[in-house]
Amino acid sequence: MSNHKNYQKEYKKSYNSKNKIVTFPLSVAFHEELRRRATYLDLKTNSYAKSIVTTFLNNETPKILSYEQKEFISEYIRISRGIANNINQIAHKTNITEQVDINILINALKGYEEEFKKFITKS
């Protein structure tokens, strides 16, 4: 047996010893509601159901984000990375003793400030 097949066999054996598959019937109405909520959260129905069960059994607060929340976070990260990139460029230029035009710096930071204001007010 090749190393790859042996690895797969051992992995499957280990996985099956630590995990069990649960199946149960669900009325069409409940399944549709589960599917609808999963779709809203951009998840597969089974992944959403697993999240509900494990969250309940762990007595935790659900940690699932909606599509809109994910988009909000992505936009925040995009703007923050832009600011960080500008700061890194400035630091690099000052480390190689290039002159930094303070007007360009201030205008760039004002631009990001305006972007953040628009971002925050639309949420």
Number of domains in the chain: 2
Domain identity same for 83 and 103 = yes
pLDDT at 50: 92
Domain identity same for 81 and 53 = no
Range of the domain at 30: 21-64
Residue 104: pLDDT band (50, 70, 90) is confident
| Residue tagged 């996985």 (tokens) | 15
> Measured in Å, how far apart are the chain's first and last C-alpha atoms?
57
pLDDT at 83 over 70: yes
Domain identity same for 57 and 93 = no
Considering the domain boundaries, does residue 88 fall inside one?
Answer: yes
pLDDT at 30: 92
Domain identity same for 114 and 84 = yes
HSE toward the beta carbon, residue 56, CA cutoff 13 A: 6
For 68, counting Cβ atoms within 10 Å of its Cβ (0-12 exposed, 13-18 middle, 19+ buried), the class is exposed
Domain identity same for 34 and 76 = no
Read off the tokens for 61: 């607060």
Task: List, for residues 37-71, the tens digit of each pLDDT value.
Answer: 899 888 899 999 998 898 888 888 767 777 777 78
Dihedral pair phi/psi, residue 113, rounded to 5°? -60, -45
Considering the domain boundaries, does residue 11 fall inside one?
Answer: no
pLDDT at 28: 93
